[in-house]
Structure 1
Amino acid sequence: MTYIKFHKDLIVYQKAFSAAMEIFHISKLFPAEEKYSLTDQIRRSSRSVNANITEAWRKRRYEKSFINKLNDADGEAAETQNWLDFAFACKYIDEKTHLDLYKKYDEILGIIVSMTVNSKKWTFSETKNTPPNNSNTQ
């Protein structure tokens, strides 16, 4: 049984980090006039997914705080999908890239929702002192 010790051990963190880096590289090809709008927005929201997962992990002593930060990560992931829609509509990315990234964020969103619904498994309690194992629920 593998225990999750750090936020970087979370599969959802790893998937979100990988997707954000992919967006970073793709967004380098966006037109210069998008620098302060679409490019900045999609980079910020995609990176914010990881930042909020990291904060949620550090706040797991308090279930409500943990859920709140996961809700923020959920919102940022959905916002990233919105910006992907704009990038595709503006023809800055092709259909395959759009669908691949959109599906990655659907998976990330699914994991975040699962962690939220099962927050008691992830947060500390008086009767439980070990973190959850690294299973497919995260």
Structure 2
Amino acid sequence: MSEGKSYQDLLVWQKAVTLTSDVYKTTGFFLDEEKFSLTQQIKRSAVSVPSNIAEGWGRNTDRSFGHFLSIAKGSLYELQTQLIIANRLDYINEQTLNELDSKIVEISKMTSSLMKKLN
């Protein structure tokens, strides 16, 4: 962790916030009966990613930060799975799935890289 910087300066956090915004916009088009099941689970997974990056940063130790980055990475895989399910249920099309998935993969790689730097 670098002194004087904020978690908001981390590119991975910025990209995770953008992904979360994209997910919220996408789920706004889901069927009304989905608003309180898969939609909410997708939103929780998405918002968990930048939230855990921020929380880990706030713990002020590399070990804690690494732990929360690991949680964020798990949330990315959870989100990825839920979006695949949404696609199979025809809530999102293949293009939207691919666009969101490419962001997930990029953030996952960035998270892994950051975790390696901490070790």
Q: Give the TM-score band, short-chain normalised.
A: over 0.9
Post-superposition Cα deviations, 1:10-36, rounded to whole Å, max 9, x if no partner, equal: 110111101110110110110111112
| TM-score of the pair, normalised by structure 1 | 0.80
Provide runs of 4+ in structure 1 moved above 6 Å: none
* Equivalent residues, number: 117
Take 1:100 and 1:14, find their aligned partners in 2: how far apart are those partners? Answer: 17
Q: Match for 1:73: what amino acid?
A: A
Gaps of 5+ in 1: 121-138
Identity among equivalent pairs (%)? 36
CA shift, 1:4, in A, is 6.8
Q: How does 1:21-100 map to 2 (within 5 A)?
A: 21-59=21-59, 61-100=60-99
Point out the structure with the larger helix share. 2
| TM-score of the pair, normalised by structure 2 | 0.93
Post-superposition Cα deviations, 1:61-120, rounded to whole Å, max 9, x if no partner, equal: 322211110110000111110111011111111111100100100000001111111115
Alignment correspondent of 1:15? 15
Post-superposition Cα deviations, 1:38-71, rounded to whole Å, max 9, x if no partner, equal: 1000001000001000011112x32221111011
Structure ID, larger Rg: 1
Alignment correspondent of 1:126? none
Take 1:111 and 1:56, find their aligned partners in 2: how far apart are those partners? Answer: 15
- What secondary structure sits across from 1:112 in the alignment? helix
Take 2:30 and 2:82, find their aligned partners in 1: how far apart are those partners? Answer: 12
- RMSD of aligned alpha carbons: 1.4
